[in-house]
Amino acid sequence: MSRADGFQAGAAEFVVLDSGCFFGMESAEALQVRPECFVLDQYKLAETDLAPYPCLVIDAFADQEWLYRQRDLIRRFLDQGKLLIFCGHLFRDWLPGGSLFVPRTIRSHLDYTVLFHKPHPIFTGLTSEELTYNKGVAGFFARGHNPPPPGAEVLLTLPGGEGITYIDRMSTGGTILAHAGNSLFTYGPPESKPERIGSQLRAWARAEIGRKEGHG
């Protein structure tokens, strides 16, 4: 499903790994037509020149056993001052600074409540309730957390203070945005207010890339 026809190196900003999973197929197909995105078969990661691309996007359906085997490549990418966006439950030690997913003990739907730890442009205009509930059902946004590394900037938490979304500028020479849930890059159906998360995330990513390049 990788977009190859008509693609010119350097034209895209975001390399989006395509897992080939059925549940990620719709998102991958939608991103293929976006000029800022290069959708790449995850198993071609090692043979692809990532030099032209400032950001790598990995979702919850990626093969983490494969990513573990590519962990040195991923660290080298980040140590060049680049950005990695990962959304999912971390169960293999491939993400620099990352800790394995810890599921939340649930006694009621209130245990899924998403709280703002600090304001951030990715979530501007959204409320805690809008993030917590999808058509009246809680638990879609996060059901646990990947414990943030020391020095990480925590953006969102669960009621026990568990950081579910964080930015890590300490573990590598680049920036990692990690979210313990479904992809923020393509988050939400078009008719929902949280759909703005995807566009706001891309805007933040461009600003972060520019900031890193300015300090490089």
Q: What tens digit of pLDDT does each residue of 100-135 get?
A: 999 999 899 999 999 999 999 999 999 999 999 988
Q: For residue 198, give the 3-state DSSP assignment.
A: helix
Instruction: Count CB-CB contacts under 10 A for residue 36.
Output: 14
Nearest C-alpha neighbor of 2 from the set 185, 25, 11, 75: 25
pLDDT band at 27 (very low <50, low <70, confident <90, very high): confident
SS3 of the chain: helix, strand, coil, percent, to 5: 30, 20, 50
Nearest C-alpha neighbor of 72 from the set 53, 45, 91, 90: 45
In whole angstroms, give the CA distance from residue 96 to residue 149: 9
H-assigned helices in 58-111: 64-69, 71-79
Q: CB-side exposure of 64: number of CA atoms within 13 Å?
A: 16
Please report the domains of the chain, with CATH numbers, ordered by start residue: 14-215 (3.40.50.880)
In whole angstroms, give the CA distance from residue 19 to residue 60: 9
Nearest C-alpha neighbor of 56 from the set 77, 41, 29: 77
* pLDDT, tens digit (0-9, with 9 covering 90-100), for 178-197: 999 989 998 755 555 667 89
| Stated pTM of the model | 0.89
The distance from CA 54 to its chain's CA centroid, rounded to whole angstroms, is 14
Q: CB-side exposure of 32: number of CA atoms within 13 Å?
A: 15
Q: Which of 48-57, 63-72, 81-90, 192-201 has the lowest mean pLDDT?
A: 192-201
Tokens of 55: 């950001």
In whole angstroms, give the CA distance from residue 102 to residue 69: 22
